[in-house]
Every structure is written in structure tokens, then in C-alpha cells.
Chains A and B, each alone.
Chain A
């Protein structure tokens, strides 16, 4: 019991990390705060390529957070805000890539590889299940000879 409690205590700081600079970006409506949080999680920092806007402290990430906040205050929708950034920084800023012809492999690549593997497996299994070819007369004779040899020893 005590151990579980201590473990939960360890997790506490994580929840603190999850909120982006709440003092700097005040919202009257908690829904808006949640929206901002979500946007900052889903948008990628162009400079530090493996972090989102919420996690990164790179100056450009701070600028983009400020911009997202500013656009939200202007009453823009999530799509408009993401569109604004994509127009300037490209699709790269989205952690959730759009579905288009050139992103086909990204979305369906894993499924295609899976189906391909499955097909391969079936083909190989089938090959193994084929009944062995009947023995030729020569082989029959050799088999008989081996059997006789086994018996006599």
C-alpha cells in the first residue's frame, strides 16, 4: 500500500509538466485552456524536431506558442490556427499528418507490410503442407533394404 502511494507520488511531477506555462497563457474558459494545451501538444517545434510546442523551450517554439495563443484570442478555430502555421512552416509542424497522395505510404505502409507478411506466411505454410511425392521404384527398393537391415540387426 505504502509502495503504491510512493509510486503515485513519483508520478505527480509529470502532471505538472503536462501544462504549458499556465501563468503566461491565461484563459477565462477552461475549455479554451484545454484546446490550447491540445494544440501545443499536436504542433511540432520546427527547430527541435522531436519535441512539440508544449515541451520545447527553443525561442521559435515560444514564438509559435505566443502566436497560437494570439490567434485563439482572435477567435480562430483549431483548423485555422494549424492552417496558419502549415502555410508558413509546412506540414512538418503537424504531429498528425494530413491524409494525401504523398502521405499514402505513411498511413498505409504498416498495414501493407502486415498484409504482405501474412500472404507470405500463408504461401510458405501451403508449400510445407503439400504431400510428399510417392517414392520411385528405386527408392522403394532402397527403403525395403534399409528396413530389412534394421530387422536383422
Chain B
């Protein structure tokens, strides 16, 4: 009867094995949950990349806020998809993160401009407020300026399939 106890370590071992399998096998270990979800978009006063004029607010409608830079290879990878989204009528605001306005304008001319406008964040100050640690990052912001979701890494059709229902619900 007591022999059954001998199997407990084995059961424990298997349980831990499964736990580690799930924990370590997670698809995306590098994307951390953001504490900003449900909080208002941080305040800022920065210039736009396009005209250099000062801006301090997002449009009062649901938008994607996409953090990008010309030095970021993944940003280039996702750019074509952003262009597609913009064509479908998705409103996207860019944050040009720790970058140079001139280079950014060249990039937009060369690869197309899916953004309503781009906020220049040369020192990464707004990026820090947003908890940005690896461009590209994309935020879903509703018409009241509340951050609803955050995606770290490139935006692609598979990711958009997951985000789109939430974005539509915000309309």
C-alpha cells in the first residue's frame, strides 16, 4: 500500500517537467506584459517629423501608435504591412524613436508613409514614458487616449488577426 508513495517523486518530476516545458517553450519570452494597459497615453510636447511643428496630442479616435526608427531592421520588415493597414483605413501615428528627422523623412519617402503624422522622439523621452525597450512596438490607443493593448515586435498579418477584433471594438 505504502509503495504508492514511491511514485510521488516521479509524479512531481513529471509535473515540473510539464511546467518547465510550457514556461520555457513559450513562443515569445521577450515580450513583457505592459503595466500601461488601461492607463492614459503619457503627455508629451514634441515636434512632428514631417513639419517640425510642435504637437501634444493624439487624434481623438482609435489609433495604432507605432514606435519605429530607421536603425531598426524589424521596423523595415513590418513597414510594408503598415502600408497595407493604412490603405485599409487603419489610422496609424508614428513615434520616430531615437532617430534623426532627416533620415526618417528619407525613409518615408523611399518606403511609403502609412502614418497620419510622426512624433519625433530623438532622446527617447516619450519612449521611456511608454516603457519602450525594443522597437518596433505598437500600442492600441482608444478615442479617449487610453492605451488598450501593446505589441512588441513586428506587426504582421498573424499578429493583426489577434489585435484587429480589439481594435474594431474600440471604434
Contacts and interface: CB of A to CB of B under 8 A. Distances in A.
Contact of B35 (A49, A60, A89): A89
A90 B124 contact: no
A22 interface: no
Contacts of B134: 47, 60
A63 B2 contact: no
| Contact-size category for A | 20 to 34
A29 interface: no
B32 A89 contact: yes
Interface in A71-116: 86-92, 116
A99 to B, nearest CB: 18
A60 to B, nearest CB: 5
Interface string B124-152: 10011111111000000000000000000
| Contact-size category for B | 20 to 34
Contacts of B6: 124
A92 B8 CA distance: 34
A34 interface: no
A63 B122 CA distance: 12
Contact of B8 (A46, A49, A89, A120): A120
A65 to B, nearest CB: 12
Given A46-B32, A86-B35, A90-B35, A60 B5 contact: no
B168 to A, nearest CB: 27
A90 to B, nearest CB: 5
B30 interface: yes
Secondary structure of the A side of the interface?
Answer: helix
A63 B124 contact: yes
B9 interface: yes
Contact of B129 (A49, A88, A116, A123): A88
Contacts of A91: 35
A123 B159 CA distance: 51
Interface in B1-38: 2, 5-6, 8-9, 12, 29-30, 32-36
Nearest to B132: A60
Interface in A26-73: 46-47, 49, 59-60, 63-64, 67
Q: Which 6 interchain pairs have the tightest Cβ spacing? A: A127-B2, A46-B133, A88-B131, A90-B35, A60-B133, A89-B131
Interface of A: 46-47, 49, 59-60, 63-64, 67, 86-92, 116, 120, 123-124, 127
5 contacts: A46-B32, A47-B133, A49-B30, A89-B131, A120-B9
